[in-house]
Structure 1
Amino acid sequence: MKKIISFLKTDIKIINSYFLFAIILIILISIGYSSYALFSFTKTSTNVIEATVGELKKSGADTLIKLTDNTNDSGLYTITHPKDTTLQIGNDKDITEYRYRGASPKNYVTFNNETWRILGVFPTDDGTGNIENRIRIIRNESIGNKYWDTSDSNNWARPSTLNTELNTTYLNSLTSEAQNMIGNTKYYLGGKNVTYNNGYADTPLQFYSYERKIQNTTSNEFYNGTNPNSWVGKLGLMYVSDYGYASSNCENKRIYDYNSSANDIRACNDTNWLYNIKDNEWILPQNAGTSNRAFYVNSNGHVNYNFVVYNGQFAVRPVLYLKSAVKITGGSGTSTNPYTLGL
């Protein structure tokens, strides 16, 4: 620990010293020096103690959160989801997350010596019930066209072919530094039994809830058959809600309207930074009304549910959550000066 200040070597009672240290701590935090609010104590005699103020390095999540509400044109915004007792997360209190939105947010980051993008900072369950804010990233380009599953199942946790490839072959191909930054995460596997009504009336905002539902309320509503509601691992895909929230205030647009693109999220293509590869791309949610169909982002920008998981190979962009200890070590988040990471 870097020693910045050594003080209070006075012959006073220890209890009074600790009280004074607490006052100094409050002052430091109140004037914006929370990064220095770490004390260590050494007892030098019966009634004499020495305190050292040390520097705390902020987590990467904390660094980014300070840029919310588009501070410095970051493109990062605060989203709050109200408490919902039917969800796996946020069933006892509101959930606050921080998402990058718009055409060109400052969310570029170097990971595995490649260009990735930061989806945002999210309250994240590591699979044990421990929830903390963690940075979530997505590869900027596809790793190639893949099948979602070659065994004709939309159960990601089985595991599906794509799940296996991402969490073995692809994961093992990453640098050791990159692998050490990835934390286990509880991925939510909810989808929807979508009914066709001139397109799909559901919105990304609604899908945020569908993805996280604890259980079906009617048969095959969010999960097909006995498909589980979650899976714990390292690498996954983005959600429908991720794609919708990446646009500028289009989370209430339909994911697809057969009659008019003006009524669905294609109207937001120009303000959606995730609409960058412009290719058919697999995403995580299942079509709960069938046992072998999953959702994908269509090359024209809308979200489709009706494709058999083994019928075609679509683009794949891996998604992962960094460990909470990962820090932002440099960069500004632009395409020419991406963030750099360190442990």
Structure 2
Amino acid sequence: MKYIKISIVILLVSFISIFAYKLTTNNSNNKISLTKEQMKEMLSYTIDGNSTSSMPTKGSEYKVKSITCKNGSILTWDNDNWLLEVEKLESEDLCNIDFTTGTGSYTVTVVPSIAGSLDSTSKTTTENGQVTFYTKLVIDSVSGCTNEISDGKVIVKNITSNTTCNINVSYMKLYDKLLADNPTRETRNTYNAVFTNNTTGTLFTATEKNVHNTTDTTVYYYAGNTTNNWVKFAGYYWRIIRTNADGSIRLLYSGISHDTTSGYINSTTYAFNSSYNNPMYVGYMYGTSGSLVNNRKNTTNSTIKDKIDTWYTQNMTSYTKYLSTTAVYCNDRTEQTSGTYNTGKTSFYYAPHARAYTNYAPTYDCTETSDAFSGSNTSAKLTYPIALMTSDEIMRAGGRAGANLTSPYAWYYLNSANGSITGSQWWWLLSPRYWNGTNASVFSVRDSSYPGYLDYDSVDCTHGVRPAVSLKSCVKTSGGDGSASAPYTIVETETGC
């Protein structure tokens, strides 16, 4: 049901009163628009049956006792918000609103299971009329009154006496909310160019399999210039990257304000690894030198993992219960066919390089046990459920290796002011690129001089760090629409679900 708010000016003897009316129709595709003159001609007011030229103000202890319309219009008065709602409007009608200090003759009072979850707790209507209560939560059941549940609304019809309804509501899972708020589904088949279309309301479909989910599982991701993937969690802003194979929701750190230009932790920069002169230093964790098998033993933290873990312990440990331990963060050290692993002067490339520069085929799959970092994988076990975004995720989001984003850009590059969320700082990704015989290199994203440019750098260089976390599939949302001004928020519980 659509709402239209208009202002009505009523001329009185000594002053002008301005009232805001909320108008609705019983057809969600139609809108009612009335002129001020029509409203003045249509409405009159009485107090306990006695005519008055002015409507009582909110807080004056008056309530609407009854509403009568000569030709069948159905009006509803929202006692909480002091607004007029129109359920049905006849083009030629005269309606009177009678106020009283008692209780309205045709008042519906609602008692929700979660306080404040409905648009009002009391509405008064015409005899045999109807009232509609609205909620953004899930309506589980209604008792105590004859009602109809439809699309976030409880409609009470044919009202002939005061009535009380008990409405049981519950919070929606964030996962379900994302699907509901983004009804369009699309699939991208080519990734050899940047993708910066306006895509708000669209989720893109892909699949993922990994060490925890070994068969292809449908996942959804945001791509292009979407504007409704903001989350406020643990006191920080985040952007939703995608859903994971375990149903969790992956988030990218985006700062302490949505319009920031320093959306990286601690407003400083770090090396991926302070040492660079061995291929093993592309690892988020690594073992010993000499072979890829040795590198993948994962006994030593990288410099960047230490920095992320320290930040986590200082800022997020109380939120661990909301985070998935089976979401996988892929530090894909698989060799590409170009070159063979060595620690000498011969170059070789890792698999993410081929996907970014050669065959343009990003993937969410991560089946090599020692590269699939998670809180539950003993071969690549995270200390805390936090890591980094991958080059494949950047490609799916709209980026391309060796290319600037074009206006209006892609979400991962932007703050709410449509500028670089990291200003003049590059930021690290989790994906290895190559060993050039001297330096180990990992993928990164460039700064405002090269908008959203998917690039790489030697691991000893210092760049911004934007961690990634994954909210568990059971986490529920307490509100928001995903916009920067109204980001999704979560319901805080003892268990995390």
Q: TM-score by structure 2 length? A: 0.45
Cα deviation 1:251-309 (Å, max 9, x = unaligned): xxx522xxxx4xxxx2446331112335311000112546732111122132223x221
1:160 partnered with 2:160: no
Q: Is the contact made by 2:350 and 2:433 (CA closer than 8 Å) also made in structure 1?
A: yes
Aligned length: 257
Counterpart selection for 2:410 from 235, 250, 272: 272
> Displacement of 1:115 after TM fit?
1.8
Give structure 1 stretches of 5+ with no counterpart: 4-32, 38-52, 124-131, 217-221
Cα deviation 1:164-185 (Å, max 9, x = unaligned): 2212x21112155434323323
Q: From the two aligned structures, give the one with the greater strand fraction.
A: 2
* CA distance, structure 1, for counterparts of residue 407 and residue 435 of structure 2: 28
* CA distance, structure 1, for counterparts of residue 407 and residue 244 of structure 2: 24
Cα deviation 1:49-77 (Å, max 9, x = unaligned): xxxx9866432212212233449x74441
In structure 1, the residue corresponding to 2:220 is in which secondary structure? Answer: strand
The aligned residue for residue 97 of structure 1 is 219
* CA distance, structure 2, for counterparts of residue 268 and residue 208 of structure 1: 23
> Displacement of 1:104 after TM fit?
3.7
* CA distance, structure 1, for counterparts of residue 481 and residue 168 of structure 2: 26
User: 1:87-166, aligned counterparts within 5 Å?
Assistant: 88=211, 91-92=214-215, 94-123=216-245, 132-140=246-254, 141-143=263-265, 144-152=268-276, 153-157=281-285, 158-166=300-308
1:181 partnered with 2:181: no
Cα deviation 1:195-249 (Å, max 9, x = unaligned): 999x93342xx2326x625389xxxxx99xxxx98544411111112212222xx
> Displacement of 1:88 after TM fit?
4.4
1:231–1:292 CA distance, 2 compared to 1 (3 A):
farther
* CA distance, structure 1, for counterparts of residue 323 and residue 214 of structure 2: 26
Give structure 2 stretches of 5+ with no counterpart: 1-111, 114-136, 142-166, 186-198, 255-262, 286-299, 337-348, 373-377, 415-421, 493-497
Counterpart selection for 1:319 from 468, 485, 497: 468
* CA distance, structure 2, for counterparts of residue 288 and residue 175 of structure 1: 33
Q: Is the contact made by 1:142 and 1:317 (CA closer than 8 Å) also made in structure 2?
A: yes
In structure 1, the residue corresponding to 2:248 is in which secondary structure? Answer: strand
1:154–1:35 CA distance, 2 compared to 1 (3 A):
farther
In structure 1, the residue corresponding to 2:363 is in which secondary structure? Answer: helix
Q: Which has the larger radius of gyration?
A: 2
Highest RCO, 1 vs 2 (Cα 8 Å, sep ≥ 6): 1
> What one-letter code is carried by the residue in structure 1 that aligns with 2:231?
V
> What one-letter code is carried by the residue in structure 1 that aligns with 2:410?
N
* CA distance, structure 2, for counterparts of residue 270 and residue 229 of structure 1: 41
Q: Is the contact made by 1:189 and 1:230 (CA closer than 8 Å) also made in structure 2?
A: no
> What one-letter code is carried by the residue in structure 1 that aligns with 2:366?
R
In structure 1, the residue corresponding to 2:319 is in which secondary structure? Answer: helix
Counterpart selection for 1:201 from 331, 347, 358: 358
Q: Is the contact made by 1:107 and 1:334 (CA closer than 8 Å) also made in structure 2?
A: yes
The aligned residue for residue 432 of structure 2 is 286
* CA distance, structure 2, for counterparts of residue 60 and residue 164 of structure 1: 30
- Percent identity over paired residues: 20
Q: Is the contact made by 1:148 and 1:161 (CA closer than 8 Å) also made in structure 2?
A: yes
Cα deviation 1:113-172 (Å, max 9, x = unaligned): 22221212222xxxxxxxx201111111111211111133111123111112212x2111
